[in-house]
Structure 1
Amino acid sequence: MIDSREHIVILGGGVGGCAAAYWLTATPELRAKYRVTLYQTGWRLGGKGASSRGESDQHRSEEHGPHVWFGFYENAFKTMRGAMEVHQQLGHTVGPFKTLKDLFMEAREGVFYHHDEKAEKWEPWKMSLPRYAGEPGDGTPCPDIRENLWRMADHLALNLNKVGAFGPIVTWFLGRMEKILGRSVKWQEAMSCPTGIEPGDPSGWASYLSRRLIDLAGSEKHWYGEPVIGRLFRLLLDYLGWKLRRMKKRAKNSAELREICLADLYRTCLRGALVDLLIRDETFRQLDRHEFLAWLKLHGAGFTTVKESPFLRGYYDTPFAFSGGKAHDPNNANFAAGAALRGFFRIFFGYKGAYVHRMNLGMGECVFVPMYRVLKERGVRFEFFHRVESIEPNATGNRVGRIRINRQVRLAPGKDEYQPIKEVAVPHADAPPVFWPVWPEHPMVDQLDPTSLPPPEDPGLESHWSSHTSGTVELFDRKEPFGDGQERFDHVVLAIPPAAHPHVAKGLLAKDTRFRTMVQTSETIRTIACQFWFSDKDDLGWDTHDYFCELAMAGSGPDPFNIIIEATNILQTEATPGASHLLYLCGPISDDENEPPPGTDPGYPAREKARAKSIALAWLQERASLWPGVCSPGTTCLDPSTLYHPDPHATVEQRLDWQYFRMNIDPGERYVLSTNTAAPNRLWPWESGFNNLVFSGDWCRNSIDIGCVESAVTSAMLAAHHLTGYPTRDMIDGMQYE
C-alpha cells in the first residue's frame, strides 16, 4: 500500500533531530498528514548528549561530558514533560522512575573557583540562588525581560548593601527619583547571608533600585521606559561603578572581593542593558557584534578579564567560550555580547523553580529512552546505521534534490528494524536487581548480518574515521523526475552540526551564499571529558568552609577541566557498591594540527582517547588538592587507593585504568561556539535558502544562540512550525529576547 502522506526526512538523531520529530508528530492531525523518518549514524540517539552503559558488570553510566538543564529551559521541559506523560500512559518506566520529577533533581547552588595566585590555591566561591514560583514547562507564564531585570536589580541592591556601596549620595539620588516618578516605597533591610553569596528572594523584600527600575519599565514584554529617567539611572549606575572600582582596590580578603566582584557584574549588565536596550533601542542580536568582555569594559566594569573574575570565567566556561579551545589563554575568550547578555539574564534571573535541574541518570536514559519510545509509538521510522554522505541540490539550486546515505551494516535476515534499547539488571545489596533500559556501549550484533559487520580494526561505526559500508541508500525529492521507484521525500530537517556540513553539504554551500557564510564563520571546538569514581570516602574535603548543601557544580576550575560536577546521585543506578563519589570533568581543548582526513587512519580515535587519559591523570595528580579528602595524608598529592575499582585488591595502575576518559573529536561531537564573528551570521531554521530544507540544532538562530539543550529544542519547534504551523508561535517561549 502506497503511503500518500508528505514525507519528512530528519538527518541526525541528537536533541535537535529528536525534538523536531516530537513536534512534527505531536497531534493526530499531524500524524495523519506527515510521515517522519529519522536517519542516524551508528546504533544510538543523542548526538553530544548520547550516553551509554559500559558492558562490564558494573553497568556504569558513560557520558560525552556532564549535562545539566537550567531552569529557564521552558521549551525543553515542555517537550520532556509531554513525552513523559505519554511514556507513562504507554505503561513504560525508566527503571523505577516514572515521572519527570523522578528523572530530575533541583539545585540552587553554583561554585566558582577563585585562583589566589599569591597563596597558590584554588578557593571555591559559592553562589546560591533563590527558588522562584512554578516549574519549567508547567504551562504557567515565564518571567519576561521586565521581571528578569527586576530580579537582577534586587540582587544587585542586596550586594551593594553588603559591600557598603549604598551611601548618602545613593540615598539622596533615589529620593530625588521618587519625587520625579511620583511614587514612594518604604525601605526594608536586605536578607542576611552569613556564608557565601545568597541573594534574597525579591518576593520577600523590595529594594529601592529594583522598584525604581520597575517604574521605569513600561511593558510586560519589553523593557521600554522614559529616556529621561533612563539617563538619570545611568548616572546612578555610573556612580556605583566608580565606587565599586575603588572598593576593589581596597578589598582586604577574598570574602570582600567576592561580593564586590558579583556586584560589579550585576551593575555592569544592568547599565549596559539600560543604555543599549532602552536608551539606544538596540536588540540583543545587534549587540552580537561586540565581544562580551569588551562590552562590559565599555560600560565601566571593574572586572574585565576572565582571569580576575571567577564569575566571568565560570560563565565563559559553561559554553566553552574560548576560540580554538584555548581556555588557557584569556586572550582567546570570545562570547558574542548579545547572546551572552541574553543568556545571563535567562540563566540567573529568568528561570522558574530552581535555577538548575540535574539528571538522576545519564542523558541517554533520562531523555532519549523515553523520547525514542514515544516517537516509535507515534509511527516515526528510525533508520540506525545510516551515515549521511551528501545532500545535493536540484538542477535549479532551490531545493534539496537527492540525499546519499551510507548504509553501514545490514540487519540480520528476517529483521525489519533495529531495536536499540537493552534492558540490564543492576544488582543492589540486600535488594532485588533493578532493570534499566539503556543504550549499550556497542551495537547489539545479534540483530545484525554478521557478513556486514566492520573489521576488528574499525574505530567504531559512530566514528568520523570509520569508512565501513555495506551499501548506499539514495533518497530523492518528490518533485524531481529521476529516481523512479526510489524512496521519496517532501521536506528535509538538517539536524547535523555545522562541523560536518563541509563534508555532507558541499553542493548546498556552493549554491547559497548565506548558508555558506554561516558555516564558514561558525567555529566548533573539541572537548575533553573524564569521570572519576572514588571509594569509601565520607567527604571529598573540598568544602573547607562547610557551607555547601548540595552536590557541587563548579566552573572556572584549572584548565583544561574547567567544569567539575559531582554526580554521586548517578551511583544509585550503577552496580558500583564500593563507590561513594562520582565526579564528571569537562573542558575545551585545542585541535590537533595533524588530524588525519575522515575515513583514514582508523587507529586515530584510540590514540586520542589515550591522550585524553594521559592529560586527565596528569591533571588529577596535579590538582588533587581541590579535594583534600582524596590526598595522601599531609600532602597535596592524590592517594590512588581512593579511586574506586570493583576489585578491592586492584593495583594503582588498574585503578587508574578503570576510570573513564574521552576526547570528543567527531564533527557531531564538537561544541559550537557563540563568537562575535559567528553569531551575527546565524540563520533561522527556515532561512536555509532551499524550499524544502529547514535547520534544527543549537547551531542555528533560535533566540538563545548558545550551545545548549534549550537552543536545540527551540530551533526544532521553530522548524516544525515552519513546516506544519504547529506548534504555534505563542507556544514557543523566549522569542521576545530576539
Structure 2
Amino acid sequence: MPHGSQINVVIIGGGPAGLAAAFWLTAPEQNDRYRVTLYTQGWRLGGKCASGRNYSEHDRIEEHGLHMLMGCYHNAFATLRACYEAWHPGPGSPLSTWEQAFIPQRKITLMEPDGRGGAWEPWDFANLPRSPGEPGDGLGADPMAARALAEGPVDAMHRLVKRLADWLETSVGLDKLIKGGKAAIAALRAPLFEPTDERTKKKLNDLEIANKQLREAIGNKGWQPAGHDAEQNESFQLASGAMSRLLILANLGVATGLGYLRDIAHSGEAAYDKLNAQDFRAWLATCGAFDETLASAPIRALYDLAFAFRDGLAGNIDNGSMAAGVTFRFAMELTFGYRNAPLWKMAAGTGDTIFTPFYEVLEARQPGCVQFFSRLTDMTAANGRIQSIEISIQAVTGDGTPYRPLVPVKNLQCWPNQPDWDQLKDGSVLRGCNFESSFCTASAGTRPLQVDQDFDLVILAIPPAAITKTPASFTQGSARWQAALGDSRSVGTQSLQLWMGPPIAGLGWPLGPTVLTAFAENYDSWGDMSHQLQTESWSCPDAPQTIGYFVGCLHVPQQPAPTPDSMQQAANQQADQWIAQHLPILWPGYGAGQQTCRCVAANFDGSDLYVQTPSGTNVASRFSSADTADFANLYVVGDWTRTRFSGGCFESAIESAMLASRAISNFPTHIKTT
C-alpha cells in the first residue's frame, strides 16, 4: 500500500455495502487519506434495495420488495445515524434526522393454516415490548459501549439466553404450563460451567424433562396446566389453538436453550461454524423440537423472511435450507437482542431514506466520486494483485457535465424510477433502456483502469450472481474464489405493491397496521406501508388510503432461458392468481374496484437476486471483508461475505463494509461482530 500520498480506492457497486465502505473511508477522521471513486451501473444507487419515484403516477414509490430494518441491526444503524449526523438536507426536508427517517414497529403478525380447507388464522404479536436504548447504541465512544463490545461471544449470547428464560417465564408461562418449567427456566439463567461438570449435566437433564412434559401435554387431550385443578384453571381455559401455540412456543424456547447449552456455550465461534453444516430445522429436531414446532408459523417466518427455499420453490417448508449456526444467532438477536423495537419501517422509500443521504454526504466530501452508468465488464489479476479493471460506460450526458440523479418530491430529494433522458446524449434513442438489467448492452465506450495509475485498492461490492455475469478473469486461477462463487446461492424474488381506496379497516383487516409473514405463497409477507402516502403526491378525488407491500420467492426456470419480458409476465400472472385466491383471506372486504393502482416486480437478474445462506459449506467458503480476498489489493464486501449473520440482509452488507474500511484504515474502531 502506498505511503505518504493519497490512496486511490475504486469501489465497484452502488448498493449498501459499496456506499457504506465509501462513507467510512471518506469520513473526516480519515484526514482525506483516501480518494474514493465508486462505479455503479444505471442512474441510481441502492442495488437490489433501490427504489424509484414514478412521476407519471403521483410520485408513487416503487420498490424491489418489502424493505425494513431490524432492531438488532446495530452496525447498520450506527452507520446510518452517523450518515444522518453528517447530512445537510435542503430546507423543509421532512427527513433530517434518523429518528424522522425510521419508524419503530412493535406489532408483528404470523399466519397459520387452521386445517379447515384453506382457512388461515392470524397469530398476532401486538405491542411487543420496548427494550432499552436505540439500535446502533454501543458502537460509539461511550464506555458502556466499549465494555459491551469487549465481551466475548459466549458472554454476549448468554445474555440473550437469559432473556430467553425471562420470556419463557413472563410471556409463555413455562413454569405454569408444566411441573418442570421452573427448573428449566433456572437452568437457562444459571451461570455456565464446564461441559463435563455435573451441574451442566443437570441443567441439560432439567431441560429434557421439561420437553418431555411438553410432549405429553400436547398429546393429552384432557391435560390441565401444572398446579391448577379444574375449578382453579379459569385463567388457562384458552381456546385449543391458543394453548397449542403456548406449547409450541414453550417447546421452541426449551429446544433452543438446550441446543445452546449442549452445542454452543462451551465451544465459542467454532460451534457456529460446525452447526452451519446442518439445516436449522434439522438441528432443532436434534434439540427436541417437535414436528408441530418445526412446521409452526414462527419457524416458517424465519424461512420466509430469508427467502430460504431451494430454487425459489417455497410451497413446502421441507424445501427450505438455512445454516443452523448463523440462523440461531440471528433468531436470538432478532427476538431478544433488539433495541427499542424489533422492526423499523422507513418513513419514505428506501432510496429516499437511505441512499439520498449517503449520496449527498459523499458528494459533499468528494465531489464527483460517484460515477453513474458504469458497469464492470472484467477485472484481471497477476502477481497476486488486481492489475486492471474494465468499465463499460453505458451513457454520458449531452453537455459532458456529471449526471444529476435526484428529483424533488415534497421537499425530499428522491431517485426517479427511470433516468432523466433529457440529460443523456442520444436520450431519445436510449429511452426505455433498463441500464440496471444485464440484458441491456447500451455502451458509449469503455474506461480501462490500471493499478498504480488509476487505483491502488479495489473494493468489489457486487453480488456473486452479478460477478459471474462478467468474464471475471481474476477468479480463474483462484481456488478460493472458485469455491466462494461455487458455494454461493441466490434466489429470485417478486414484489407486489397495492394502492387501495379504503383505509385498512375498510378492507376488513381487524388487527390494525402490521407486518405479517408466514402466509400463502407466492406472497408470504405483507407490510402495511400506508404511512408513506404523505410522501407521495396524490391529489385526485379517489386518492388511496392504504398501501400494501407484498413479497415472496420467485422460481426462475432454467429452460426456456428467462428474459425480462417472460419473467415479468410470469410475475404478473402469479400476482393475479394470488390476489384472487388469497388476498380476500387477509382483507375480507377487498374488491377489485377498490384498487387504485399496483406495481409488480420480478427480481430475477444477477444484481436483483437475494443471497441465501443454505446449510453445507456456504458460510465456510465465504470471504471475510476483514482481510484481502486472495489478492493483496482486493477486498470484497456485501451480504454474501462472512459476517455475524452471514445472511442476505442490510446488516451483513453494512458490517462487511465497516470491516473492509477498518482493515484498510483502522476506522471505524467499533464494529459489532459477535
- TM-score norm. by structure 1 comes to 0.82
Residue of structure 2 equivalent to 1:259: 246
Q: Is 1:341 aligned to residue 328 of structure 2?
A: yes
Question: Could you tell me how far apart the structure 1 residues matched to 2:279 and 2:92 are?
Answer: 43
Residue of structure 1 equivalent to 2:476: 510
| SS class of match (1:616) | helix
Question: Could you tell me how far apart the structure 2 residues matched to 1:401 and 1:62 are?
Answer: 39
Q: 1:150 aligns with which of 158, 162, 165?
A: 162
Letter in 1 for 2:600: F
CA-CA distance at 1:159 after TM superposition: 4.9
Q: Is the 8 A contact 2:527 2:550 kept in 1?
A: yes
Residue of structure 2 equivalent to 1:179: none
Q: Is the 8 A contact 2:376 2:390 kept in 1?
A: yes
Question: Could you tell me how far apart the structure 2 residues matched to 1:556 and 1:540 are?
Answer: 23
Residue of structure 2 equivalent to 1:724: 665
Letter in 1 for 2:594: T
Q: Is the 8 A contact 2:188 2:257 kept in 1?
A: no
Q: 1:683 aligns with which of 618, 623, 632?
A: 623
Q: Is 1:569 aligned to residue 531 of structure 2?
A: yes
Q: Is 1:700 aligned to residue 662 of structure 2?
A: no
Q: Is 1:213 aligned to residue 175 of structure 2?
A: no
Residue of structure 1 equivalent to 2:86: 86
CA-CA distance at 1:526 after TM superposition: 0.4
Kindly report the root-mean-square deviation, in angstroms, between the aligned alpha carbons of the 2 structures: 2.2
Residue of structure 2 equivalent to 1:410: 396
What does residue range 73-152 of structure 1 map to in structure 2 within 5 Å? 73-87=73-87, 90-92=88-90, 95-128=93-126, 129-139=128-138, 141=145, 144-152=156-164
What does residue range 415-494 of structure 1 map to in structure 2 within 5 Å? 415=401, 417-424=402-409, 434-450=410-426, 455=430, 459-478=433-452, 488-494=454-460
How many corresponding residue pairs? 633
Q: Is 1:365 aligned to residue 335 of structure 2?
A: no
CA-CA distance at 1:537 after TM superposition: 3.4
What does residue range 30-69 of structure 1 map to in structure 2 within 5 Å? 30-69=30-69
Change (3 A) 1:268 1:459: farther
Question: Could you tell me how far apart the structure 1 residues matched to 2:343 and 2:414 are?
Answer: 24
Runs of 5+ unmatched residues, structure 2:
139-143, 150-155, 222-238
1:200-229 CA-partner distances (Å, limit 9, x unpaired): xxxxxxxx825x5343148xxxxx788432
1:568-612 CA-partner distances (Å, limit 9, x unpaired): 111111123521111100011211223548xxxxxx313322321
Question: Could you tell me how far apart the structure 2 residues matched to 1:336 and 1:521 are?
Answer: 13
| SS class of match (1:216) | coil
Residue of structure 2 equivalent to 1:670: 609
Q: Name which of structure 1's ranges 699-708 and 529-538 shifts more when overlaid on structure 2.
A: 529-538
Change (3 A) 1:256 1:707: same
Q: 2:554 aligns with which of 569, 589, 614?
A: 589
Residue of structure 2 equivalent to 1:383: 371
Question: Could you tell me how far apart the structure 2 residues matched to 1:542 and 1:493 are?
Answer: 49
Q: Is the 8 A contact 1:537 1:642 kept in 2?
A: no
Question: Could you tell me how far apart the structure 2 residues matched to 1:15 and 1:595 are?
Answer: 33
Q: Is the 8 A contact 1:227 1:279 kept in 2?
A: no
Change (3 A) 1:326 1:119: closer
1:480-533 CA-partner distances (Å, limit 9, x unpaired): xxxxxxx51000000000112223353222121112101101110100101011
Residue of structure 2 equivalent to 1:243: 213
Question: Could you tell me how far apart the structure 2 residues matched to 1:389 and 1:99 are?
Answer: 38
Question: Could you tell me how far apart the structure 2 residues matched to 1:333 and 1:38 are?
Answer: 36
Q: Is the 8 A contact 2:509 2:588 kept in 1?
A: no
CA-CA distance at 1:560 after TM superposition: 1.0
Q: Name which of structure 1's ranges 227-236 and 328-337 shifts more when overlaid on structure 2.
A: 227-236
What does residue range 552-701 of structure 1 map to in structure 2 within 5 Å? 552-576=514-538, 578-594=543-559, 596=561, 604-631=563-590, 639-644=591-596, 658-677=597-616, 678-685=618-625, 686-701=627-642
Q: 1:715 aligns with which of 653, 656, 665?
A: 656
Question: Could you tell me how far apart the structure 2 residues matched to 1:249 and 1:455 are?
Answer: 66
Q: Is 1:231 aligned to residue 231 of structure 2?
A: no
CA-CA distance at 1:692 after TM superposition: 0.4
Q: 1:539 aligns with which of 496, 505, 510?
A: 505
Q: Is the 8 A contact 2:7 2:34 kept in 1?
A: yes
Residue of structure 2 equivalent to 1:23: 24
Question: Could you tell me how far apart the structure 2 residues matched to 1:576 and 1:228 are?
Answer: 68
Q: Is the 8 A contact 1:227 1:278 kept in 2?
A: no
1:90-112 CA-partner distances (Å, limit 9, x unpaired): 35468322211111111112111
Change (3 A) 1:589 1:538: closer
Q: Is the 8 A contact 1:533 1:583 kept in 2?
A: yes
Question: Could you tell me how far apart the structure 2 residues matched to 1:469 and 1:666 are?
Answer: 19
Q: Is the 8 A contact 1:244 1:302 kept in 2?
A: no
CA-CA distance at 1:455 after TM superposition: 4.3
Letter in 2 for 1:682: R
| SS class of match (1:496) | coil
Question: Could you tell me how far apart the structure 2 residues matched to 1:530 and 1:576 are?
Answer: 19
CA-CA distance at 1:158 after TM superposition: 3.2
CA-CA distance at 1:446 after TM superposition: 2.4
What does residue range 233-312 of structure 1 map to in structure 2 within 5 Å? 233-250=203-220, 253-279=240-266, 282-303=270-291, 308-312=295-299
Question: Could you tell me how far apart the structure 2 residues matched to 1:455 and 1:383 are?
Answer: 19
| SS class of match (1:579) | coil
| SS class of match (2:348) | coil
Change (3 A) 1:93 1:671: farther
Change (3 A) 1:11 1:408: same
Change (3 A) 1:464 1:641: same
Question: Could you tell me how far apart the structure 1 residues matched to 2:174 and 2:506 are?
Answer: 31
Question: Could you tell me how far apart the structure 1 residues matched to 2:538 and 2:218 are?
Answer: 47
Q: Is the 8 A contact 1:297 1:304 kept in 2?
A: no
Q: Name which of structure 1's ranges 120-129 and 46-55 shifts more when overlaid on structure 2.
A: 120-129
Runs of 5+ unmatched residues, structure 1:
175-207, 219-223, 425-433, 479-486, 598-603, 632-638, 645-657
| SS class of match (2:505) | coil
Letter in 2 for 1:127: F
Letter in 2 for 1:216: P
Question: Could you tell me how far apart the structure 2 residues matched to 1:692 and 1:446 are?
Answer: 39
CA-CA distance at 1:66 after TM superposition: 0.5
Q: Is the 8 A contact 2:380 2:389 kept in 1?
A: yes
Question: Could you tell me how far apart the structure 2 residues matched to 1:93 and 1:79 are?
Answer: 24
CA-CA distance at 1:448 after TM superposition: 1.7
CA-CA distance at 1:247 after TM superposition: 2.4
Letter in 2 for 1:679: V
Change (3 A) 1:581 1:250: farther
